[in-house]
Amino acid sequence: MSNTRGSNLICIRSRDLTNTNELGNTGRMVLQSPIEANTNEKLYVCVLSATFPNSWYNLSTYLNNNTISFKETGDSSFKVITIDEGSYDIFELISEIKSKLEANSTNTLTYTLTYNEITNSVNITHSNTSAITTDFDFTNSLSCRRTIGFTLSIKTINSSNTSITSDRAVDITDTYNSIYVRLPNLSNQKVIESSTSRYSNIVAHIPVPLSRNTIFTYEPPKPFCMELNQRTISSIDVAITFQNEEQSVHFGKGDWELNLLIEYKLNMEKSAPPHTIHRNILKQMKNYEEKQKKDKDNIDELKKLIKSLK
């Protein structure tokens, strides 16, 4: 016998949703007729396919990662330089940083930033390493340090250290290399995410190809189907975020599409019969009484047999 009676395909376009926001990453779809499971069924939901625009910036004020802080000889404090928002590759980014450093150099220095593809690292030097010192503060929380491969630290170019080089991998995505589809109003107790270690509303984790300003698709060969706690669905809330649920994807009002499959499946869980100490004691007493009666009957039969023999 089949353990399912059918399914519903929900085709969602972001432009059709209500309750959307400026980022274009959330919205609500209200169903004309609720989806309801029978009392002996459970509902499951999965993402069959999706299409997204890779339209968000990898460096922006929104992501808190578009500054660089530096201080040269003669400066009393660090200068915090803001890098123009945008979607950069590593060569475009180091060119932009070079331009900003030179435009704000107290000593009219020329800076050279070089990317080594073999080691995936960036090297920074300037035109006067004998007398002029430059400190880079990569501890600033708004720093672009991860995109050019630096850890939380202060690095110095001076006479004994004529350049600085990345001490971690260059990551032009700044760790925003995948997005998560969430259904906030559909609850479950099956998915746990590492950022909170609590049950989550994630239904799909989608890697993002390194191809800016293009459309990418998600078509898993075997979609993960999430068991839901509720048996009725009257609306579906959708949110597209990065791993941190508070960090929404800024689509720049680009449209995306999502196809959800909602299935009905029979509840195959069997409840265990009630078992208590009281019931167990009663059962043992009954077995004892039956044994006593059987023993008495056997003795009576034996007495009758002996008497007949006499």
Q: Is residue 43 predicted with pLDDT exceeding 60?
A: yes
| Percentage above 90 pLDDT, the chain | 67
Confidence grade of residue 67 (pLDDT, cut at 50, 70, 90)? very high
Q: Is residue 271 predicted with pLDDT exceeding 60?
A: no
3-state secondary structure of 309: helix
| Percentage above 70 pLDDT, the chain | 91
Could you tell me the end-to-end alpha-carbon distance of the chain, in angstroms, rounded to an integer? Answer: 67
Residues 6+ apart with CB under 8 A from 17: 26, 27, 28, 29, 238
Q: Is residue 279 predicted with pLDDT exceeding 80?
A: no
160: left (phi over 0), alpha (psi -120 to 50) or beta: alpha
pLDDT tens string 204-225: 999 998 788 899 999 999 998 8
Q: Is residue 235 predicted with pLDDT exceeding 90?
A: yes
pLDDT tens string 116-173: 999 999 999 999 877 899 999 999 999 999 999 999 999 999 987 889 999 999 999 9
Question: In terms of Cα–Cα distance, which of 270, 265, 268 is closest to 226?
Answer: 265
pTM of this prediction?
0.78
